[in-house]
Amino acid sequence: MREKDLTNREILIMKCAWGSEKELSVMEMQERLREEFGWDAKHSTLRTFLVDMEGKGFITLERRGRHSYIKVLSGEDEYKKTETAKMLDFWFDGSSQRMMSALTKEVTEDSVDHLMGVLDELGDD
């Protein structure tokens, strides 16, 4: 587990990075943040976030010519698993049954079918 958590703004940055098929320059990241989340981050502000995230071990910044590129070090699935485990421990005292009960209070029929499929797949392993 990482020493420090991501802030809400850092999570937006990671969502853009994870959703990209290539490493993004800082300028490209600014554009994506504006388009996807309506965050018009100044270059200096974004750089500050990126340096902090690099210190936390989520990314590295690589200088190539006149531009810096963001290289992701932590995968989205890994991050989701870690955050889900923390949520499970904190909010549901480690009980996956309590968490599932809270998540399924207002479930549609399609959701139930999907969940049954997921459970079936888990049983096949």
Q: What are the structural domain ranges in the chain?
A: 8-72, 76-124
Coil/strand/helix, residue 68: strand
Which letter does DSSP use for residue 57 in this model?
T
Q: What is the CATH number of domain 8-72?
A: 1.10.10.10
Our CA angle for 66, 68, 83, nearest 5°, is: 170
The pLDDT of 63-83, averaged and rounded, is 95
Residue 25 — φ and ψ, nearest 5°? -75, 165
pLDDT at 80 over 50: yes
SS (H, E, C) 98-119: HHHHHHCCCCCHHHHHHHHHHH
Residue 76 has pLDDT above 60, yes or no: yes
pLDDT band at 99 (very low <50, low <70, confident <90, very high): confident
Question: How many Cα atoms sit within 13 Å of 73 on the Cβ side?
Answer: 12
Contact criterion met (CB below 8 Å) for 14 and 76: yes
Q: Per-residue pLDDT for 60 more than 70?
A: yes
22/109: higher pLDDT:
22
Q: What is the mean pLDDT of residues 62-85?
A: 95
Predicted local distance difference test score (pLDDT) of residue 1: 41
In this predicted structure, the answer to whether residue 13 has a pLDDT above a threshold of 90 is yes
Q: 107 or 11: which carries more pLDDT confidence?
A: 11
Q: How confident is the model at residue 125 (pLDDT cuts 50, 70, 90)?
A: low
